A and B are shown apart, each in its own frame.
Chain A
Amino acid sequence: MEDYNQPPADTLKDIKQLMERSSRFISLSGWSGIAAGVCALIAAFLVAQKAGCWRINECLLGRLTAGEEVLLQRDLYLIAILTFIAAFFSALFFTWLRSKKTKVPVWGIVARRLMWNVAIPLAAGAVFLYRLAELQQYELVAPGCLVFYGLALVNASRFTLIEIRYLGYAEILLGLINCWCIGYGLHFWAIGFGVLHIVYGAIMWWKYERKPGQL
């Protein structure tokens, strides 16, 4: 253990691994992405059900603006909060499982750095969107979710698997397009938080976690 008597190639490999493990949180599991995506799709389904959005003309979401649907509004907030909690903890669960394999503590210095850097754009976004909703600019809430979340991911990519940056770019792009497709917020939201997460999670699983011979 004490002194190096191994080939230099192995020493370099050790150094590289140590640098990576000490600066990036590598335990983020692909399953976390898939789990968060599934939560989002369920939430989108519930919202569509609640607000009757299956046919464009019958959707109540458009009427939120008039301040008529106080109960609906309360339900929507409830769904939003529950979804966030469910997605967060299911994502955390799979990452915790993975961290046992990578032996990187879930609450080590790299994890703390990652959380902090995700939390800043997300918290700013949450306050901003809350205010938008208060001013009854509901049309911009879904695009806002996507843009702020995308920014959080791009910010996070410096502290975890670099590929998460592309997910971030995609979320931002989707959010910006959504700004000009008013009325389709729920669709964009479901694609961004549901489908993209699942696709990203599956790719990450394939790339980093798949055992040889699996699939």
Chain B
Amino acid sequence: MKNPITGLNKIFESRIRLGVMSILMVNEEISFNDLKQMLEVTDGNLATHLVNLEENGFIKVHKGFIGRKTNTTYSITKPGEKAFTDHITALETMIRGVK
């Protein structure tokens, strides 16, 4: 899963997946529509990436209802948090390496 040279996480090579994780780091819980709005992506595109993140155990999905409308919200898991911080640390190390 990890790039042995840089320590970067392959899963976060996608801009959208990394974006989702960034948002979930600072928001306890966030809905599908809010994610869509903030990342400016299409439904299908976002859904695919969310499934990927969920399968990797990085995010938790909560299905709920507001009246009759489904309201799906997402939150980050402990392993997700760790993977994200490791990824950031790797990025920072790379920057320092370049300088």
- Chain A interface (Cβ < 8 Å from any Cβ of B): 1-4, 8-9, 11-12, 14-15, 18-19, 21-23, 105, 108-109
Contact = CB atoms under 8 A, between A and B. Distances in A.
B27 A15 contact: no
B26 A4 contact: no
Given A108-B37, A109-B34, A3 B26 contact: no
Q: Which residue among A3, A12, A18, A22 has the maximum number of chain B CB atoms within 10 Å of its CB?
A: A22
B80 to A, nearest CB: 14
Nearest to B93: A8
Interface string B23-44: 1011100110010011100000
B88 A3 contact: no
Nearest to B38: A22
A23 B27 contact: yes
B70 interface: no
Bin the interface of chain B by size.
20 to 34
A105 B15 contact: no
Nearest to B34: A109
A19 B18 contact: no
Interface of B: 13-16, 18-19, 22-23, 25-27, 30-31, 34, 37-39, 88, 91-92, 94-95
A178 B91 CA distance: 52
Contacts of A19: 22-23, 25-26
Contacts of B13: 3-4
B26 A11 contact: no
B22 A18 contact: yes
A27 to B, nearest CB: 14
Nearest to B41: A1
Contacts of A105: 37
B18 A11 contact: yes
B30 A23 contact: no
Nearest to A23: B26
Given A2-B14, A109-B34, A8 B94 contact: yes
Contact of B91 (A1, A12, A108): A12
Contacts of B38: 18, 21-22, 108
